[in-house]
Structures are given as C-alpha cells and as structure tokens.
Amino acid sequence: MKNKLTLAGVAVLAVFTLACGAGGIDSNVSGSSGDGGAPAGAVAGSEANADTAATSEAPKTLEQKVGDTIEVSNDSQAIKYTVTKTAQKSGSEYNKPDNGVYLLAYLEVNVTKGNSFVCSCELAFIGPDGTVYDSTYAGVDGHKEFESTDIAAGQKKAGWVPFDIPKNAVKGGKIQLKVTNFLSEDQYAYWVL
C-alpha cells in the first residue's frame, strides 16, 4: 500500500512538473503574415490578462489566414505554427471519410527556443456552425501525416493533419490551434479558410 501511494505521489509530481515546463504559466500567442511582417495580434499572455482584468472583457481572438504564422511563447520556449495550405480529398476505395470529405491541413512547426512535444491533436476544425471536428488518423494516399514528436530549438516538423468533415462545412470554417496551459485557461488561435 505504501509503495502504491509513493508511486501515485511521484506520478502527480511528474505531471505537475511537465505541465509547468510544457505549458508554462504565462504564454503569449501572436500572429504574423506569411511575408514575415509584424505581429497581427495577440491573445492572452500577461499583458492581455491585465487588460482583461481591468475591462472585464474576454481576450481578443487571433484569426489568421492560411499561410500566416502563429507564434506561441513564454519564458522558456517559443514555437511557430503555420498551416501553409489545405486540400480536400474524397479518400480511396478502402478509406472513405465518414462525414463526406477529408480536409487536409499542412502544418509546419518550428521551435525557436526551448523544446516542446508537438502533436496533430493541437489542431481541430471548427465548422461555420461551431461544430468541432478533431483530427483523424486516417492516412490519405500521397499526403504524409504529421507525426507527433519532441523537438528542440532549431528543429522543425511538418506534415498533413486530416479532418473528416461534411463537405458543406469547409466554406466558412477555420482550423483551431489549442495552446494547452495546465495552470490556467487554454488559449486558441485560428486559421480562417
């Protein structure tokens, strides 16, 4: 019994330690156009939270165009996410989408400071009616899937993230990036299609 409690305590401590290192306490989310221009906006972060507390309004939502970069940073890490392009596929004879079409988003992730675990699970598709579609693991021929991995500063990862969605949900939909922060509310940014 004592060993089980010790193991449980170590597990809780490990999760807390990972949460502090992975998500950070104060993270900033900003965007810039694909041409390397100045940031287009910011969501949350310490300054936005101070503004929010003073005005009792929710933080502004960052919405970018496909091809634009969203940067997430805190004191220990900085990561750039870019959905560079999208494609629609009907699948193959043995791999048909359940909802109508596969929407594929080509995700490029570049860590510029620290290290991070990157995952296609950080993305979701939001239909124009607000319906959330998580990424699927259905491989689409000729489109190498984004594979989850740990990457460090100076490293990058890229690949396709597939979503199984109704065809009529593409127009007016957006791809959501969820920035998980275990010690405060999650933050979101979007690429509008």
Domain boundaries, the chain: 2-192
pTM over 0.75: no
CATH assignment of 2-192, given 2.60.40.1240, 3.40.50.1820, 2.40.50.100, 2.60.34.10? 2.60.40.1240
> 178, 118 in Cβ contact below 8 A?
no
With CA atoms as reference, report the closest residue to 158 among 88, 108, 92. Answer: 108
Beta strand 187-192 pairing with 62-65:
parallel
Tens place of pLDDT per residue across the chain (193 aa): 444 333 333 333 333 333 334 433 345 677 766 544 433 333 333 333 333 333 334 445 789 999 999 999 888 999 999 999 999 998 777 788 999 999 999 999 999 999 999 999 999 999 999 999 999 987 777 789 999 999 999 999 999 999 999 999 999 999 999 987 655 677 899 999 9
The CA distances from residue 47 to 43, 54, 59, 168, 182, in Å, are: 9, 11, 10, 38, 19
